[in-house]
Chains A and B, each alone.
Chain A
Amino acid sequence: MSAQISTAPPGAVDKAGKGEPLLSIRGLRVGFRRAGSHFEAVRGIDLDVAKGEVVGIVGESGSGKSVGMLAALGLTSKNAVVTGSVRFNGDELVGKPSREMRKIRGARIAMIFQDPLSSLNPVMTVGAQIAEAVRLHQRVTRKQAMARAVELLHLVAIPQPERRVNQYPHEFSGGMRQRAVIAMAVANDPDLLIADEPTTALDVTVQAQILAVLRSLQERLGLGLVLITHDLGVVAGHADRVAVVYSGRVVEQAGVSELFADPRHPYTRGLIASIPNLEESRERLFSIDGSPPALGRLPGGCAFHPRCIYAEARCRTEDPPLHDIGGRFSACHFATTLPPFHSASLAAAELDSGSMAP
């Protein structure tokens, strides 16, 4: 057995300052059975989201960050095995009957997905799809639901909502579709919105608009917002707290400014160092050597050790748990003894030798 579930509660900053956080995930594991074999895509995620808080989940594609959140909502495929605990407003979601889950999905917790081109039904009008979301959870007439749809399109700053509401998704641009998807997600005033790579498929200028819409809604409606992304820039600009995910586990969790100023996990350091920077001219862009391990073929010990420039013998045998290092969390044996971080120096060191003692 490799990964251990940390018993330390990852420090959610409950802004309201009382009781349990809005969403509390402990030891979430998601395994898939496929052709007789079993592999784990998520190997223990711990995460808290407080009311009105923006939490970024960062990781490479395939790291399990999306699957973890889908599993939390009971949206994984039939062959998935989900264990651990997901508490929402104190209510356990793992193992909840699907009938009960449907009452929560779209009402209390909404989720939006990466590709606005395919996340709307092409043969239904945008208005009908928003109205459907309303009518699934509220006892209103079709007409009232459509009126609410117009209101919601207005809320996400779609011009001429009265006309747009009767149009089909193919008549919308990519950015507008994502706005419509967001409108649909907030139709029932949820407490929590999970946005899975909400801007990845969009142009850069549109990305900024969509993030602005999400942020303004989050502030206005007091939503808890989980931003799943591989873009550290998005996280830096919008999240209060960040969880970094590597091969199915949270490897570091900290407040956003702490994380960028002083990352305490080598993987996070690598991620930050590989952000292109206009101020420092480098000969080439830093990149983390190697590639993430394939699911089901994890290395022993710390999953990151084959790519880690700080790795020692211990890392090959012992998987470090996510542990408290003073109000923040890291899953590195050397979390407190890593050298001071400077992205340029990391890049330089990597280019020099590739071996550097902690």
Chain B
Amino acid sequence: MSRYILRRLIAMPFLVLGIVTIAFLITTVTKGDPLTAIVAEQQMSNPEVVAAAKARWGLDRPLPERYMIYLGNLLSGDLGTSFITKRNVGTDILYRLPATLELVFAAMIFGTTLGIVLGVLAAYFRNSLIDHGARLFALFGSSLPVFWSGLGLLFIFSVMLNWLPGPGRVDARLALPPGITGFLTIDSLLAGDWTVFKDALWHLLLPAFVLGWTVSGTISRLVRANMLDVMSREFVLTARAKGASEARVVIVHALRNTMVPTLTVIGYSFAYLITGAVLTETIFSWPGMGSYAVEAARALDFPAIIGVTIVGGLAFLVTNLITDILYVVANPRVRLS
């Protein structure tokens, strides 16, 4: 088992290099001219300004050289400077990534809990009202576009009922606790600031639900199918014959066996949300990676685009690795090989 994980770890740097290379090359094949983002429009006809800008940002050098410079900088932890914010891309991302992670973690808590509970209930009460209801809920979750469900829920719960706050991560009038983890909920708890904690949690609720809803559909369908398969296996009958209660049969015996395939989907969903939360972040004005990526793409801010792509790729790599490790833990049959 440790050898398997060691192999995966050894492969990691090469995979990262691959991601960096592809991210870098993508920017060169796009038609857009990054100079439009750097140089003001009326100055574009001025060859001196253009040449100076090219030299300033290294755009006059040949591609291989630019690539090597970028790699060199990356090794020292420098992701380059954003054309737009003129700040280091790494700093920008470090500021925005926690916001996204906080949202995605919360969304995954909603998504997996809902998905597993609904999947188990739907399988156990197959073809009943619960099953059909769960199917409908899942169908809506995975097929309703986020900008529709997000806006709809925002309208209902924030505008009409006034139960939940509007977009944003926290009330702008509040003084924020020192950023330790970057997770507002955790930072405010660490600082003992209940007002900020409550406010951040209320703000988090709706976007996390909207995002979690999209993955809960996939998870509940998968859990349902696997539960149906597992519940018909003989060890379930054995557990009942032992005198185990139905709750015990379902949770201890059946559900644990469906966790192996489910983990893969949970891991994948997590990585997908980190890069896929763009629409939700835009609708809820969430200052995360998604909105950063949109701004960067709109402005052809190449360093930022590459930075976001690399972080997204890393998110996939890391979650995949964690998923694989958990997979081994959950499934004793692969533990030996």
- Which residues of A are interface residues toward B (Cβ below 8 A)? 73, 75, 98, 102-107, 110-115, 118-125, 132-133, 136-137, 168, 170-171, 181, 184-185
Q: How far is the CA of A120 from the CA of B257 in the complex (A)?
A: 12
**Total B residues in contact with A, Cβ cutoff 8 Å:** 23
Contact bitstring B305-337, A, C-beta under 8 A = 1, else 0: 000000000000000000000000011110010
Q: Which partner residue on chain B sits nearest A118 by CB separation?
A: B234
Contact B241 A123 (CB under 8 A): no
A168 proximity list for chain B (CB < 8 A): 332-333
Q: How far is the CA of A113 from the CA of B234 in the complex (A)?
A: 8
Contact A122 B242 (CB under 8 A): no
Contact bitstring B224-258, A, C-beta under 8 A = 1, else 0: 00000000011101111111111000001100110
Contact A170 B244 (CB under 8 A): no
Known: A118-B234, A170-B333. A105 touches B239 (CB 8 A): no
Contact B331 A123 (CB under 8 A): yes
Question: Could you tell me the distance in whole angstroms from the C-beta of A234 to the nearest C-beta in chain B?
Answer: 20
Known: A123-B332, A168-B333. A102 touches B244 (CB 8 A): yes
Q: How far is the CA of A171 from the CA of B336 in the complex (A)?
A: 10
Q: How far is the CA of A112 from the CA of B241 in the complex (A)?
A: 8
Known: A113-B238, A121-B257. A104 touches B243 (CB 8 A): yes
- Which residues of B are interface residues toward A (Cβ below 8 A)? 233-235, 237-246, 252-253, 256-257, 260, 330-333, 336
Contact B235 A118 (CB under 8 A): yes
A75 touches which of B235, B240, B253, B332 (Cβ 8 Å): B240
Q: How far is the CA of A122 from the CA of B243 in the complex (A)?
A: 19
Contact B241 A111 (CB under 8 A): yes
Contact A184 B242 (CB under 8 A): yes
B243 touches which of A103, A124, A171, A181 (Cβ 8 Å): A103
Q: Give 8 closest A-B pairs by Cβ, nearest first.
A: A106-B243, A106-B242, A118-B234, A119-B234, A105-B243, A168-B332, A111-B241, A121-B235
Contact A75 B241 (CB under 8 A): yes
* 27 contacts across the A-B interface (CB closer than 8 A): A102-B245, A105-B241, A105-B243, A107-B243, A111-B241, A112-B238, A113-B234, A114-B234, A115-B234, A119-B234, A119-B237, A120-B238, A121-B238, A121-B257, A122-B235, A122-B257, A122-B332, A122-B333, A132-B242, A132-B244, A136-B243, A137-B243, A168-B332, A170-B333, A171-B336, A184-B238, A184-B242
Q: Which partner residue on chain A sits nearest B243 by CB separation?
A: A106
Q: How far is the CA of A106 from the CA of B245 in the complex (A)?
A: 12
A75-B240, A107-B243 known, 12 other contacts, Cβ within 8 Å: A73-B241, A103-B243, A104-B243, A105-B242, A113-B234, A120-B238, A121-B239, A122-B332, A124-B256, A170-B332, A184-B242, A185-B241
Contact B237 A136 (CB under 8 A): no
Q: How far is the CA of A98 from the CA of B246 in the complex (A)?
A: 10
B239 proximity list for chain A (CB < 8 A): 121
B240 proximity list for chain A (CB < 8 A): 75, 105
Q: Report which residue of B235, B238, B242, B336 has the largest number of chain A beta carbons within 10 angstroms of its beta carbon.
A: B242
Known: A106-B242, A137-B243. A123 touches B330 (CB 8 A): yes
A115 proximity list for chain B (CB < 8 A): 234
A184 proximity list for chain B (CB < 8 A): 238, 242
Contact A136 B242 (CB under 8 A): yes
A114 proximity list for chain B (CB < 8 A): 234
Contact B242 A133 (CB under 8 A): yes
Q: How far is the CA of A115 from the CA of B336 in the complex (A)?
A: 24
Q: How far is the CA of A110 from the CA of B237 in the complex (A)?
A: 12
Q: Which partner residue on chain B sits nearest A167 by CB separation?
A: B332
Contact B233 A123 (CB under 8 A): no
A122 proximity list for chain B (CB < 8 A): 235, 257, 332-333
Contact B242 A123 (CB under 8 A): no
Question: Could you tell me the distance in whole angstroms from the C-beta of A245 to the nearest C-beta in chain B?
Answer: 20
Question: Could you tell me the distance in whole angstroms from the C-beta of A124 to the nearest C-beta in chain B?
Answer: 8
Q: How far is the CA of A98 from the CA of B333 in the complex (A)?
A: 34
Q: How far is the CA of A103 from the CA of B245 in the complex (A)?
A: 10
Known: A168-B332, A168-B333, A170-B332. A119 touches B238 (CB 8 A): yes
B235 proximity list for chain A (CB < 8 A): 118-122
Q: How far is the CA of A104 from the CA of B330 in the complex (A)?
A: 32
B330 proximity list for chain A (CB < 8 A): 123
Q: Which partner residue on chain A sits nearest B233 by CB separation?
A: A118
